[in-house]
Structure 1
Amino acid sequence: MSLTRSGPAGTGPAGFGAAGFGAVSAPGRFGVAELRLALAAPRPAAGLTSEFRLVDGLRTHTRRSADPGAGVPPVVLVHGLAVSHRYLTPLALTLSATHPVYVPDLPGFGLTERPGTAYDVSRHAAHLAAWLAAYGLGPVCLLGHSFGAEVAARLAADRPDLVHALVLAGPTSDPAARSRLGQFGRWLVDTLREAPLQAPILLRDVRDARPWRVYASLTHSVRNAIEADLVQVTAPTLVVFGDRDPVVPPAWRRQVARLVPAARTVTVPAAAHNVATTAPAQVADAIRALLAPALGG
């Protein structure tokens, strides 16, 4: 099923403005309110708090919301290769009105401890499985964005018992540009299409991770054939794209949707690669629609 959603983003859950962060911006945009929220951790902000737990020997940071108490599946958001929980906080806040939301920092990124090596897709997926065990979670709705979608797809393929539903947002990497140079070139084009205020987050995240880790993670990404995992996914799956995303062009979008059995697709107008950041209301609505059958909707 293919859906195209449009229209202005909502204002998110009650209390967003009261917390001093303002209203969320329109699709494809990212304003001062979102920037302040993204950079707040580990301080509490707008109902989001930080926790640190030892997972596989690493002090692992998680940004999380309160449980709204509706008995619904938790949603876990997995970030991309050069970033962290920070850019996913607008989506976390928007979803928190209806679902408990967790945004862990992968090993070496954000506020999580930095191991001496850069993890590949398999090691990140194993760490994520251990993280779920540490929190006593599963099965969950698992959203992965960009490189995070590769990690989420691997976990869904290897451990279907842990994944109630899967959301792949802007999944990498397109076989037509499966090289460091090819992906970097597309990313440069994307920077011209993204809201400029996302730049301080990216700079902070790259500083935290160290450039060598970002480069090594990119190498792991382009060597990972996500197709082998996609065909093994059994969980209900949603694939989300921004219609202005040069990292995930139309041909690769169609291929991803064909590879995942019975996947739904949603294309968000006016959004580029960081669709989960700049169109949180649209992405949250699509996730709720995916989960609605489990809720009797």
Structure 2
Amino acid sequence: MRLHVRERADLGSAQPAWVLLHGLAVSHRYLMPTAAALTASPTYVPDLPGFGLSGKPSRVFDPADHAHTVAAWMDAAGIAEAYVLGNSFGCQVAVELAVRRPDLVAALVLVGPTVDPAAPTAGGQIGRWLRDLLSEDPRQAGIIAADVRDAGPRRILGTLRHSVRHDMRRRLREVTAPTLVTRGEHDPIAPHRWISEAAALVRHGSTAQVPRAAHNAVTTAGDVVAAQATQFVAVHARAGRDLGEAR
């Protein structure tokens, strides 16, 4: 299967790479403002199977299937101990990757993670998505339309069903990587209460918020998301070095 990846690779950089994972019904396109702001490290933005410009498998992948594919690509590309940033459904894929292949994930940044247990159905998520549209920048419409066209309604609805069945609470408890959980200030899909709960479930969790943004903060406030993510991993990288020196 062909996997489409946008990348800014600097083979001379000593910094761990960033891997950015997109949400449901979208692609690499809406992550590019955040990717462009992560200037200090190699950065990779794949289209998950069935979405964007990647190949279209006959069946609809669940979060574990996507994590398996991302892990296989990272192995083939020689990417290990990366910083992994996911948005929305991409957070579920990122958490599966961190649980299944902790060697590939040095830190997690989860932006607006799904699925809030208070709205655990497809209908509940669609209702919140419609509310989110009221707070989003309408200039995103062209990007979203292209992404919906590429994925198709069958895959989008099938992925949504997989998303609401995925036990995010249980999987978060199994994450060992340092994790930042953040959200747009006006995000109805990932409310503040759920962000606090998600961060408390992981072993080393922190929270943040992106001012004036909604669910697609990675598009409308990419520079702020990138700054939060960079600051978070810098602190934890420093803490890891200090721990190693103490030993």
Q: Is the 8 A contact 1:276 1:283 kept in 2?
A: yes
Q: Deviations over 1:84-129 (max 9, x none)?
A: 000000111110x211100000000000010111101111111111
User: Which residue does the alignment assign to 1:280?
Assistant: 222
How big is the shift at 1:276?
Answer: 1.3
Q: TM-score, normalised by structure 1?
A: 0.78
1:271–1:279 contact (8 Å) kept in structure 2: yes
- Determine helix, strand or coil for the equivalent of 1:109: coil
How far is the alpha carbon of 1:70 from its aligned partner? 3.5
One-letter amino acid of the counterpart of residue 147, structure 1:
F
Match of 1:156 in 2: 98
1:94 and 1:262 map into 2 onto residues whose CA distance is 25
1:70 corresponds to which of 7, 10, 13: 13
Give the aligned partner of residue 83 of structure 1: 26
Contact 1:68–1:98 (CA under 8 A) maintained in structure 2: no
Distance in 2 (alpha carbons) for counterparts of 1:151 and 1:66: 22
SS at match of 1:174: coil
1:222 aligns with 2:222: no
Structure 1: runs of 5 or more not aligned: 1-57
- Identical columns (%): 51
- Please tell me whether the aligned partners of residues 157 and 233 of structure 1 are also in contact (alpha carbons under 8 angstroms): yes
Residue-by-residue CA offset, 1:147-204 (whole Å, 9 max, x unaligned): 0000000111111111011111100001111111000000000011000011111110
Distance between the aligned counterparts of 2:218 and 2:144, measured in 1? Answer: 15
Q: Is the 8 A contact 2:196 2:207 kept in 1?
A: no
Contact 1:164 1:235 in 2 (8 A): yes
Residue type at the aligned position of 1:280: G
Larger helix proportion, structure 1 or 2? 2
Q: CA shift at 1:66, angstroms?
A: 3.4
Residue ranges of structure 2 left out of the alignment (5+ in a row)? 243-247
- Partner residue of 1:130 out of 67, 72, 77: 72
Asked if 1:289 is matched to 2:231, the reply is yes
Give every structure 1 segment of 4 or more consecutive aligned residues whose post-TM-superposition deviation is greater than 4 Å. none
Instruction: After TM superposition, give the deviation of residue 277 of structure 1 in Å.
Output: 1.3
Tell me how far apart the structure 2 counterparts of residues 283 and 113 of structure 1 sit (CA, whole Å).
Answer: 29
How much has 1:69 moved relative to structure 2?
Answer: 3.5
Contact preservation (8 Å) 1:68, 1:99: no
CA RMSD after TM alignment: 1.4
Q: Residue 169 of structure 1 aligns to which amino acid in structure 2?
A: V
Matched residues in 1 for 2:182 and 2:73: separation? 25
Query: Tell me, what secondary structure is at the counterpart of 2:3?
Result: strand
Match of 1:198 among 126, 140, 165: 140
| Aligned-pair CA distance for 1:68 | 7.7
Q: TM-score, normalised by structure 2?
A: 0.94
Q: Do the aligned partners of 1:75 and 1:100 also contact (CA within 8 Å) in 2?
A: yes
Separation in 2, partners of 1:68, 1:130: 20
Quick one: which of 102, 114, 117 aligns to 2:56? 114
Residue 141 of structure 2 is aligned to residue 141 of structure 1: no
The residue matched to 2:91 in structure 1 has which SS?
helix
Match of residue 235 from structure 1: 177
Report 1:161-180 matches (<5 A): 161-180=103-122
2:16 partner letter: P
Higher mean alpha-carbon deviation, 154-163 vs 286-295, is at 286-295
User: Could you tell me how far apart the structure 2 residues matched to 1:75 and 1:122 are?
Assistant: 20
State the SS of the aligned residue for 1:106.
coil
Instruction: State the alpha-carbon separation in 2 of the partners of residues 277 and 122 from structure 1.
Output: 25
Equivalent residue pairs, number:
239
Judge conservation of contact 2:179–2:199 (CA < 8 Å) in 1.
Answer: no
